[in-house]
Chains A and B, each alone.
Chain A
Amino acid sequence: MVGIVSYGSYIPRWRIKVEEIARVWGEDAEDIKSGLFIYSKSVPGPDEDTATISVEALRNAMNRKSVKDVGAVYVGSESHPYAVKPTSTIVAEAMGFTPEITAADYEFACKAGTAAMQSVMGMVESGMIKNGIAIGADTSQGAPGDALEYSAAAGGTAFIIGNDNTIADIKRTYSVTTDTPDFWRREGQDYPRHGGRFTGEPAYFRHVTSVAKKIMELMGTKPEDYTYAVFHQPNGKFPTRAARMLGFKESQIKQGLIVPYIGNTYSGSMITGLSAILDIAKPEDRILAVSFGSGAGSDGFHIEITKNMEDYRRENAKAVWKQIESGKYIDYAIYTKFKKKIKMGD
C-alpha cells in the first residue's frame, strides 16, 4: 500500500517573540497572543530560503532511511527563490538524484506540499515510479505591521513516498477545491493581502471541516477512532476550533499543534505538525491530517502507522519538538536584516 517510507523536517534556528513585534508597532502583545494563540515564530537566516530548507528536511528524511530508487521530486511552496527556475532541480542536484528523475515545483498557497504528496502517491500507485519525494517548505512573507507579520514563518517537511517498507500507510486521500479569494499576492508584489475575517468561515473552516468529515465518512470512522489529528495551522486558534467543531479532543491535536511556537510555515505547516506526530506515533495509530491552501482548497489524508515503524531510525534526525526547543531569539532589528526588509543602497 502507498504510504510514507521516510520523513524529515527542518525549522530554522532563529525565533522572534510576539512581544518584540508588538513593541515596534505599538500593539498589545497579550491581545495578539490570546487572539492568534501564537507566542513566537521562526525566522530564516539570511542564507536560508525554500531550497535550503527543502534540502535540509530531505536530508533528515534520508538520514532516517536511505532510499535509492527515487523517480520524482516535487517541491510545494509560495516562496520559491526564483520566479522562473525550479527549486526542485536544486533539491534534486543537492541530493545527487540527477539526471534520471522528473521534477517540478508546485504552488497552492499553504497546501502546495500536500498537492505534491498526492501527485507522488498517484505516480507510485500507477507503477510509474518506485519512490517519489514530496516537499512543502516556505519562507513566508507578512507585510510590516500587518497581522500576518506575527505568524508568517519559515520551515518545511519532506516525505519519501513509496509502496514498499512504509512506516505509515496512506489509506485514503480526498480533496475539496473552490475559487475563494481569501488570501493572495499579485505578481511583482512583495507582500500578500488577505480578506481579514473572510479567511475564516468561507475559507479555512468550510474547506477543512468538509474534507475531514468526508474522509471519516469514506473510511467509516469517527473522531475517537484517531490517535492524532492535525489541521493546517495559520494560527493556533483556527485548528483548535476546527478540531472542536469536528469532535476531536485536545489530547488528539496537541502533539501536532506547533504553530504557537514557530508560527505558520505555510506549505510546511500541517505537514510539519504531521512530522511531529510521526516522531512519537506507534504501530496501528491512526492519524487524520488535513491541509488548507488559500484560494482555496484542502487535502485530507487517513494515515495508519505500520509495524515497520518499530525498526525505523527516527533518532537519526532531530525530532520536530526538539528543533522547536533549540530556537534562538532575535530582536526586530536583526529580524528585518535577516528577512532583507531593509532597503539597501547600490
Chain B
Amino acid sequence: MTIPRYWREFQHRYRLIGTKCPKCGRIYFPPREVCPYCHRESIGKMQKVEIKNTGKVYSYTVIHQDVPDFKFLKPYLFIIAEMDSGVKVSGQLVDVSPEDVRIGMPVRISFRRIREEDRAGIIEYGYKFIPDE
C-alpha cells in the first residue's frame, strides 16, 4: 500500500469510521461515497459514523497460507463480525487459538500493527478483533 493511500484511510482503519445513508439509514463499512440503494439521492450526503467497537463472530476461517506479512501469526483467524450496530466488518481475530473460536463469540476491536513496509519503512496500524470475554 502506498503511504498516501494508508494515510487517507486512517479514519476507517484506526477508528472504524463508516458512512451512513441519510435517506435509508444503512451503514457501510468500509465507508462508501454513494449508497447502492439510494444512488444519486445519497451523493454528497453520506454521513460519517463511528461504528461501536463490539460485536460477535458471524463467520470465520483459519488461514494456513504463507502470507509474508502475517508469517509471525500463522495460522491466523480471519472473521466476519456482526457488530452491535448491525453492520458486518471483516478482519483478523487475534489473541485466541483457532480451536477456541466459535460462531457467536463476543469480540471487540483492538488497535494493532497490521504490517510494515520493510525494516526501514513505515508501520501500518489498524483494527483487529480480540475476544471480549
Contact = CB atoms under 8 A, between A and B. Distances in A.
Nearest to A51: B125
Interface in B20-69: 50
Given A13-B95, A47-B128, A52-B125, A93 B111 contact: no
Contacts of A82: 123
B109 to A, nearest CB: 9
Contacts of A56: 110-111
Interface of B: 10, 14-15, 50, 72-73, 94-95, 110-114, 123, 125, 128, 130
B14 to A, nearest CB: 4
Contacts of B123: 49, 51, 81-82
A59 interface: yes
Given A46-B72, A47-B94, A94-B125, A52 B111 contact: yes
A59 B94 CA distance: 18
Contacts of A81: 123
Nearest to B95: A13
A52 B113 CA distance: 7
Contacts of B94: 45, 47
Contact of A90 (B72, B110, B125): B125
Contact of A49 (B95, B110, B113): B113
A49 B112 CA distance: 8
B73 A47 contact: yes
A68 interface: no
Nearest to A12: B95
Contacts of A59: 111
Interface residues of A, number: 22
Interface of A: 13, 45-49, 51-52, 55-56, 59, 81-82, 90, 93-96, 328, 337-338, 340
B72 A55 contact: no
A59 B109 CA distance: 11
Contact of A47 (B15, B50, B112): B112
B113 to A, nearest CB: 4
8 contacts: A13-B95, A46-B73, A47-B72, A48-B113, A52-B111, A82-B123, A93-B14, A94-B111
Contacts of A340: 72
B10 A93 contact: yes
Contacts of A328: 95
Nearest to A326: B133
A96 B94 CA distance: 24
Contact of A96 (B15, B72, B112): B15
B128 to A, nearest CB: 7
Given A47-B112, A51-B123, 17 more contacts: A13-B95, A13-B130, A45-B112, A46-B72, A47-B72, A49-B113, A52-B111, A52-B125, A55-B111, A59-B111, A82-B123, A90-B125, A93-B14, A94-B15, A328-B95, A338-B72, A340-B72
6 cross-chain pairs, A with B, having the tightest CB-CB distances, nearest first: A46-B72, A55-B111, A47-B112, A94-B14, A47-B113, A13-B95
A107 B30 CA distance: 37
Contacts of B110: 52, 56
Contacts of B125: 51-52, 90, 94
Looking at A45, A82, A95, A340, the one whose CB has the most chain B CB atoms below 10 A away is A45
Contacts of A47: 72-73, 94, 112-114, 128
A48 B112 contact: yes
Nearest to A85: B122
A48 B123 CA distance: 11
Nearest to B127: A94
A90 B15 CA distance: 12
A171 to B, nearest CB: 34
A204 B124 CA distance: 37
A96 B112 CA distance: 16
Given A47-B94, A82-B123, A337 B72 contact: yes
Contacts of B128: 47
A51 to B, nearest CB: 7
Nearest to B132: A318
A14 to B, nearest CB: 8
